[in-house]
Amino acid sequence: MAVNSVKSNALEPTRSELRQLSLSGRIVRLLPVYGLVILTLLLTVLFSLLLPNTFPTVLNARSIISDKAVIAILSLAAMIPMVTGKIDLTIGYGIVLWHMLVISLQEWFFVPWPLAVLIVLCLGAAVGLFNGLLVEIAQIDSFATLGTGTVLYAIAMWHSQGHQIMGALPDGFLAISGARLFGLPITGFYVLFIAFVLWFILEYLPIGRYLYAIGANPKAAELNGIPVRRYTVLAFVASGVLTAAAGIVLASRLRVGQASVGLEFLLPALVGVFLGSTTIKPGRFNVWGTLVGVVVLAIGISGIQQLGGEFWVEPFFNGATLIVAIGIAGYTQRRRASAQYFSQTVAHGDAMTLRESPGGKAP
């Protein structure tokens, strides 16, 4: 058996593999890949049938997009370090400080709103840089970013002194979240734009392949000449910038800053990322899977609430989904690792057979 005949270790099927399967075989092979997408469609149909007057409406679509756009941006922010095998837990705390700061800069210090937005984005990048240096240069476990987040939250409380930050914000700033495009909230288009950019970078640029290689095996990546520290720090910087962007969008939507708002976004953002690693490209964190994970949460929670679900339904749904998502993600990653080990073992065995055969040559 030639080494080239070894099948791909990817959990998502290749086109050549699908062509060799029957219709039922293709369905079975594709089900784990697109199962979450199918679940999204089924939930949409189910709630549309149960709530025909409220769920399948433009008004409900606008409400879901407006409410979940911030979570979607945070999920994409959290996904980037996860691609490298790290985690950024400052996202849920950073958004508290950033949404308050972008308002206070305008109201207390009379900073023009475009400059206030730029300042907050730069500060978000600085916090991401700090986290990256903490994790890669100081070699501290990325769970330490929880400490960074807690410090940011303490700064937010000190900055506001426990009071709300409010005032007459300029129309240009309010339009960041209040404007509509094609009849839908513009925040949904922000999410799509960020997703397309990240997807293109991760799938088609060398930096994307480097990030995935670092996440798979940082030592092997370093031996292959990839500057692991540089790209890992860069991943944290990108996460910090997107977190700050989410805070700006949140401030524009709420029009008021307060320390009690923002922390509730951490859990659903992480749920979206872990759910996303079980679909589209199972076994690895990916952009479109992350968005599908966020959409599943949004549709599920919206439908349950419209059916009369109590106030505790949303945190319960998020927590239970996170447990399931992490379990499925761990299973798919073990399958991928097992497939890689099998492929390497077979390849090594084929090479040894060729060497030992008369006149054989190692590939």
For 27, 175, 210, 243, 259, the CA distances from 97, given in Å and listed in that order, are 47, 21, 32, 10, 7
The residue length of the chain stands at 363
User: Is the pLDDT assigned to residue 326 strictly greater than 80?
Assistant: no
Give pLDDT, residue 6.
28
H or E segment to which residue 289 belongs: helix 287-306
- In this prediction, residue 351 has a pLDDT band, given cuts at 50, 70 and 90, of very low
Evaluate whether residue 140 is within a structural domain. Answer: yes
Half-sphere exposure of 306 (CA within 13 A, CB side): 22
Evaluate whether residue 2 is within a structural domain. Answer: no
Share of the chain above pLDDT 70, in %: 81
- In this prediction, residue 123 has a pLDDT band, given cuts at 50, 70 and 90, of very high
**Is residue 284 exposed (0-12), middle (13-18) or buried (19+ Cβ within 10 Å)?**
buried
User: Is the pLDDT assigned to residue 347 strictly greater than 50?
Assistant: no
Give pLDDT, residue 162.
81
For 31, 129, 314, the CA distances from 240, given in Å and listed in that order, are 35, 8, 26
Residue 330 has φ and ψ, to the nearest 5°, of -65, -40
Q: Which domain holds residue 329?
A: 33-337
DSSP 8-state code for residue 51: -
Give pLDDT, residue 19.
67
Read off the pLDDT of each residue in 227-245 and give the average, rounded to a whole number: 96
Read off the pLDDT of each residue in 54-62 and give the average, rounded to a whole number: 92
Read off the pLDDT of each residue in 294-305 and give the average, rounded to a whole number: 90
Evaluate whether residue 256 is within a structural domain. Answer: yes
Positive or negative CA dihedral for 233, 237, 239, 240? positive
- In this prediction, residue 193 has a pLDDT band, given cuts at 50, 70 and 90, of very high
User: Is the pLDDT assigned to residue 314 strictly greater than 70?
Assistant: yes
User: Is the pLDDT assigned to residue 330 strictly greater than 50?
Assistant: yes
- In this prediction, residue 18 has a pLDDT band, given cuts at 50, 70 and 90, of low
Evaluate whether residue 153 is within a structural domain. Answer: yes
Comparing 2-16, 130-144, 255-269, the range with the smallest average pLDDT is 2-16
User: Is the pLDDT assigned to residue 360 strictly greater than 60?
Assistant: no
Q: In total, how many domains does the chain have?
A: 1
| DSSP H helices in 84-109 | 91-107
Give pLDDT, residue 339.
54
Evaluate whether residue 14 is within a structural domain. Answer: no
Evaluate whether residue 342 is within a structural domain. Answer: no
Give pLDDT, residue 312.
78
pTM, two decimals, is 0.85
Evaluate whether residue 19 is within a structural domain. Answer: no
User: Is the pLDDT assigned to residue 346 strictly greater than 60?
Assistant: no
Q: What is the CATH number of the domain that holds 231?
A: 1.10.3470
User: Is the pLDDT assigned to residue 16 strictly greater than 80?
Assistant: no
Rounded CA-CA distance 30/223 in Å is 35
Dig out the tokens for 281 from the structure. Answer: 């490209």
Q: Which one of 42-51, 313-322, 353-362 scores highest in mean pLDDT?
A: 42-51
Evaluate whether residue 39 is within a structural domain. Answer: yes
- In this prediction, residue 8 has a pLDDT band, given cuts at 50, 70 and 90, of very low
Using DSSP, state whether 112 is helix, strand or coil.
coil
Read off the pLDDT of each residue in 84-90 and give the average, rounded to a whole number: 94
**Is residue 209 exposed (0-12), middle (13-18) or buried (19+ Cβ within 10 Å)?**
middle
Give pLDDT, residue 39.
85
Q: What is the CA radius of gyration of the chain?
A: 23
Q: Which residues, including other chains, have CB under 8 Å from residue 329's CB and lie 6 or more apart?
A: 274, 277, 278, 283
